Chain A
Amino acid sequence: MQARLKRRYRKERMFKAVGLGGLMTGLLALAVMVISILSTGLSGFTESRLHIDVYMDPEIIGTIAGNTEKERLHSLMQINYSALVRNSLRQKFPDVKGRRNIFSLQKLVSKGSREDIKQRLLEDESIIGKTITMNLLASSTVDMYLKGQISRHVDQSERKISDKQLAWLDVLQAEGRIVKGFNWKFLTSGDSREPELAGIWGAAMGSFLTLLVTLVVAFPIGVASALYLEEFAPKNKWTDLIEININNLAAVPSIIFGLLGLAIFLNLFNMPRSAPLVGGLTLALMTLPTIIISSRAAIRAVPPSIRDAAIGMGASRIQTQFHHVLPLSMPGIMTGTIIGMAQALGETAPLLMIGMVAFIVDVPHGVLDAATALPVQIFLWADSPERGFMEKTSAAIIVLLLFLVLMNGLAIWMRHKFEKRW
């Protein structure tokens, strides 16, 4: 008897240890993932700028003609900003001679710095002819070097930054002319070929518009289907078949839905390629089973006594549903919907099939504009050869994860807030 008891306790301890071990492994994997993403990604939110005196050469700038803002902008577009930057850098390093050297000197500064100069000129024309100090955006290579991603201790042929460029940077660094700052552009602009100019706002807007379409399409259809199947449909072979198929649909690989979207929305209905509308419809097809299944579970969880009470009071079936069953099951339905939406937010494969994988610089403003989505943007950047996109990839993952955590948090909060006891 005593021995048996001992054995039973030992078994219990062993089971506990195994369970704890499993949990720890899971947590460790999560920690490793988060740490690795954060360690590569956080630097993606910062940028390097070079503190340079820029001579606003009237000969290069010319006159800014036009009365309206639009005309002035057009006029500003004509200016040879490269020459302005080149001349300013040569003034700083007068010893540099030869086309190739001057070119590699100019390469320290990003092409995007033209936007900064343009902005300054637009704000204040009186700076023409003066020398002003500006923080010009450093090129991605310089940025990578300053962030320690490129080592100066390897042979020149094995790194993208040359010994001469390093020497110039050393001078600038010694004079304290290198400043780091938060990379607002990353959060506010669209994609770019230059890593230092690339942003995720375009992809975020694309994701937002896509999910909006998904929600608008999938939520009412899903809830209506669930309500019909749960409360109105007769229980027979057909409804059984439908139920089995809905459950199967939830397990269909998402790329199949992408193919379906391609075949139906693009080829049959000739909807625009790469548009959030099509992406949203495709993701709606994918999310529907999730919403239907979770809504049915929520509706089923409403106690039958409530339905009896309502019907006994002389409420019609529709009134019973809309006055009692739906309000009581809404938290569960919402939770299921948000989880389905979070799933849709992270979905890449179906969007590839309908052309949301294109390189799109403009931030989309409507559901018919060409767009890409956050996970697709991550996929695109991860696929880019430039080293600068590596940290952008991780930074975009951080943003995507933040959105997912936010959405799941919202689901949990709603469940707690609106859960009613009976």
Chain B
Amino acid sequence: MNIINVFEEDRMDNTPDEEVVEPIIQTKDVNVYYGDTHALMGIDLDISPKRVTALIGPSGCGKSTFLRCINRMNDTIPTCRMTGTITLDGENIYDKKIDVVQLRARVGMVFQKPNPFPKSIYDNVAYGPRIHGLAANSTDLDEIVFNSLQRSGLWNEVKDRLDTPGTALSGGQQQRLCIARTIAINPEVILMDEPCSALDPIATAIVEELITELKERFTIIIVTHSMQQAARVSEQTAFFHLGKILEFGDTSEIFTNPKVEKTKDYITGRFG
């Protein structure tokens, strides 16, 4: 499944430099509270561009909360409070002059449960470009929809039924439709919150392959409960435990030679 060939040329030369990479996202001393609960404690994390960063850790450790801070989805939760700074391309995304709608166009999100809109497949993908005014005319829009579906590897499966509801697809196809919908607005970062937890192994394999291809172009942060998945798709891994990052580093390093005892226990399945 070679999807990269439809990528626009100008982005192709932008391959990440292995040695010195300026982080695209930097978080400093991020604390999140839900009412009286202290959910995240002093998170400092640098996310490298065009890489897959996996966030692992036991349930309730704050991985998803952290993920939702990056595109300010937590703003919609009334009791949620956040302190510290998160910068995207050097800009504090919690700054007053940052438009949250714009931010979410730059930081896309794929959710745990596939949640296509109850509209046609075409409209699902076209929704983002439409509200952000990315297409000048219907030909442009067709092009964007085609490219996005092609990149998400869904085009051949749905090209004959673009006007059927997105909700009629299978679970794995729905999730890839959600990914297509997200890449249609051409974000810099894609956040994935356990994107494969509702999928069967075959659909999971397809989505993982897709993630590997997408990192050529996007920065991906993925929350996962599957150690194998983290090991397979990510370059860097952060281990969360009770609202703190216990260990962060190259995935190969973390899985072969964890420095913290807790990490070792977790990845070997002794707790979690």
Contacts and interface: CB of A to CB of B under 8 A. Distances in A.
Interface string B88-106: 0000000000000111110
B104 A314 contact: yes
A421 interface: yes
16 contacts: A235-B78, A303-B115, A306-B118, A308-B73, A308-B109, A309-B115, A309-B117, A309-B178, A311-B73, A312-B182, A313-B181, A314-B131, A314-B132, A328-B118, A422-B118, A422-B167
Interface string A319-349: 1000110001000000000000000000000
Contacts of B118: 306, 328, 420-422
**Chain A residues touching B, majority SS:** helix
Nearest to B168: A421
Interface in A216-247: 234-235
A313 B115 contact: no
B111 A310 contact: no
Contacts of B71: 312
B155 interface: no
B215 interface: no
B117 A306 contact: yes
Determine which residue in A235, A306, A312, A422 has the highest number of CB atoms from chain B within 10 A of its CB, and name it. A312
B81 interface: no
Contacts of B182: 312-313
Contacts of A312: 71, 73, 104, 108-109, 111, 182
A156 interface: no
Nearest to B71: A312
B73 A314 contact: no
A38 B104 CA distance: 64
Interface in A292-319: 303, 305-316, 319
Interface of B: 71, 73, 76, 78, 101-105, 108-109, 111, 113, 115-118, 127-128, 131-132, 167, 178, 181-182, 185
Closest 3 CB pairs of A and B: A314-B104, A312-B109, A305-B115
A314 B101 contact: yes
B101 A316 contact: yes
Given A308-B115, A422-B167, 11 more contacts: A308-B111, A309-B178, A312-B111, A313-B127, A313-B182, A314-B103, A314-B104, A315-B127, A319-B131, A324-B117, A420-B118
A308 B114 CA distance: 11
A421 B115 contact: no
Nearest to A420: B118
B185 A305 contact: no
Q: Interface size class for chain A?
A: 20 to 34
Contacts of A235: 78
Interface string A50-72: 00000000000000000000000
Contacts of A311: 73, 76, 104
A303 B114 CA distance: 12
A309 B178 CA distance: 9
B111 A305 contact: yes
Contacts of A323: 127, 131
B78 A234 contact: yes
Contacts of A306: 115, 117-118
Contacts of B181: 309, 313
Contacts of B131: 313-315, 319, 323
Interface string A350-364: 000000000000000
A313 B185 contact: yes
A325 B2 CA distance: 37
Nearest to A309: B115
Contacts of B113: 305
A308 B76 CA distance: 9
Contacts of A234: 78
A327 to B, nearest CB: 9
A330 B186 CA distance: 32
